[in-house]
Amino acid sequence: MSPLSGPATTSSAEERSARIAVTLFPLLILAGGAVALAAPSAFTGLGPWINPLLGLIMFGMGLTLTPPDFAVIARRPVPVVIGVVAQYAIMPFLGWLVAAALGLPPALAAGVILVGCCPGGTASNVVSYLAKGDVALSVAMTTVSTLIAPLLTPVLALWLAGQYMPVDAGSMAWSIVQIVLFPVLLGLLMRVFLPRLVNKALPALPWISVLAITVVVVAVVSASAKAIFAAGLLVLAAVILHNGLGYALGYTAARLFKLPVPSRRTTAIEVGMQNSGLAAGLARQYLTPESALPGAIFSVWHNVSGALLAAYWRRRGTAAAQDSGKVPAAVTE
């Protein structure tokens, strides 16, 4: 989740911190992946740490949630529903189409599809802020898509990825509850009952998440080094297509429902950016090490593309003062 509590009250110092986080995140992951490729045997012991680290990231997400975040869901249910439905309708089927179009081997195809079946990425809120999107809506969309992941992710994975490899949907659902739902709820409870302690820890949370996901990528890459050398460019092409089409179709869906420009940007980012670390962890546990490769590469690429998209939209500016949701022609994108 975002280290930002809201777009209206965010200071310039926090904005600089967010920019640094978005910039360093892909660089750290790239560096970690490169080291893992150069010396994969040095990191073979990291595999068992993947799920605990993902749980730590989700716990951090829960710590950032506040009652106003849930109030947005009640106050503005339509854009939240549009974004979440687009998330789970567009990305899984895009993953399936991309895998079929590129003729990916079964393990890699299942991995690409599993990325699409996961909830929105935890860095999407910062990217939405930098893109001058609707940050409150971004937090609400990420929260809802994450909380319903134990139900939708395994069902969609069984339906689509199951065409390529066997998927144990029941065990996967329980793992998602353990990795995602329990840590988020625990973090939320701590935020409610220990607010002073949590507030002191908040500035460090983005960096803890960055380090945790970097270790996850290192673990996945080290276990899939041979597959990367054999099919790395093909997987990268699949990831770029999946991510880019997700942005485009997410924006289009929001535009069809005549949401304001900031909400369109947020919807595009929420749809295009996935919790690919979760996908990598689930793929490694329930599919094969090669199936985790798309999630690891997606973790790098969607942060690079998200930062670039945010920079582009930030330069274009926006008009956010439309309570009716109608956008003047002058700012329609």
Asked whether residue 87 carries a pLDDT value surpassing 60, the answer given is yes
Which of 122-126, 175-179, 288-292 has the largest mean confidence?
Answer: 175-179
Residue 158 belongs to some domain of the structure = yes
Q: What is the mean pLDDT of residues 2-19?
A: 47
Q: What is the structure's pLDDT at 324?
A: 35
Residue 93 belongs to some domain of the structure = yes
Residue 330 belongs to some domain of the structure = no
Residue 286 belongs to some domain of the structure = yes
Q: What is the structure's pLDDT at 23?
A: 66
Residue 323 belongs to some domain of the structure = no
| Range name among 88-97, 240-249, 256-265, 301-310 with the lowest pLDDT average | 301-310
pLDDT tens digits, 229-253: 777 789 999 999 999 999 999 999 9
Residue 324 belongs to some domain of the structure = no
| pLDDT > 90 in the chain, percent | 39
Q: What is the structure's pLDDT at 3?
A: 40
Helix 276-286, helix 205-223: angle, nearest 10: 40
Asked whether residue 99 carries a pLDDT value surpassing 90, the answer given is yes
Residue 149 belongs to some domain of the structure = yes
Q: How many domains does the chain have?
A: 1
pLDDT tens digits, 203-239: 777 778 778 888 888 887 787 777 777 777 899 999 9
Q: What is the spatial distance between Cα 276 and Cα 39, in angstroms, rounded to a whole number? A: 23
Q: What is the spatial distance between Cα 213 and Cα 206, in angstroms, rounded to a whole number? A: 11
Asked whether residue 197 carries a pLDDT value surpassing 50, the answer given is yes
Q: Mean pLDDT, the chain, as a whole number?
A: 83
Provide the CATH number for the domain around residue 110: 1.20.1530.20
Q: What is the spatial distance between Cα 331 and Cα 83, in angstroms, rounded to a whole number? A: 21
Which bin fits 132, alpha (ψ -120 to 50), beta or left (φ > 0)?
left
Residue 267 belongs to some domain of the structure = yes
Sorting pLDDT into bands at 50, 70 and 90, what band is 19? low
Query: For residue 118, what are the domain limits?
Result: 12-317
